[in-house]
Structure 1
Amino acid sequence: MGPVLHDDGGDTLGFLVPPGTAAAWDLPGSTCTETDGRGATLAPEPPVAGSDWLLPPGEADLATDPAVLREALGEAARMIKAADSCR
């Protein structure tokens, strides 16, 4: 698992994935935003205002494997849907 960001409200998680992932990302309910990260280094401070590290750089792989992330997000969506149907 690569570094993970969260917003201050805890409503949004951001996963760092390898370059090129955004071009093929099509998982409903999620967004993959391409950035120009060439030469970028991950500092201890979060790169986005109003966010913080859930899993900081240095304690994680460089990036999250997109296939593993896709599977985890799909499983989470199925669990949420199942929980909602039990209400």
Structure 2
Amino acid sequence: MVTVPARQGLEAVDILRLRDEVGPVLHDAPGDTLGFLVPPGTAACWDLPGSACTQTLVRPRATAEEPPVAGTGWLVPPATAYAVATEPARLREALGEAARTIEAADRCH
């Protein structure tokens, strides 16, 4: 699972939804983060600054029942996701685009 700050994650979710490429996404409200479910093995090669990728033993369920990670809720439940997991290269691109969007918006204020 790739975890990012909620602001960047929400931007990335919007970008991935427009491209029909978002998989299930968890929201950790107390930690103000989003967790993108990615394919097994992604943690071994993930190195994007500002994010963390941890190997988990959870698998997304086929329904939007209770999330597989305690203390989280579904932002994009498996039932509405386009894929079982978000493709890491697409996620990396979307997170980069989201960071640039946020940077540009912050400069305008």
CA separation of 1:49 and 1:58: change in aligned 2, threshold 3 A: same
1:83 aligned onto 2:105: yes
Structure 1, unaligned runs of 5 or more: none
**Contact 2:25–2:77 (Cα < 8 Å) also in 1:** yes
CA separation of 1:10 and 1:35: change in aligned 2, threshold 3 A: closer
TM-score, normalized by length of structure 1? 0.83
> Identity of aligned pairs, percent?
69
1:22 aligned onto 2:43: yes
Q: Which has the higher helix share?
A: 2
The corresponding residue for 2:25 is 4
More relative contact order in 1 or in 2 (CA 8 Å, sep 6+)?
1
Q: Which runs of 4+ in 1 moved over 4 A?
A: none
Query: What per-residue deviation string (whole Å, max 9, x for no partner) do you get for residues 45-87 of structure 1?
Result: 1122221101111222111011111001001111111222223
Write the distance in 2 (CA, Å) between the matches of 1:41 and 1:14: 12
The two structures, once aligned, show a CA RMSD in angstroms of 1.9
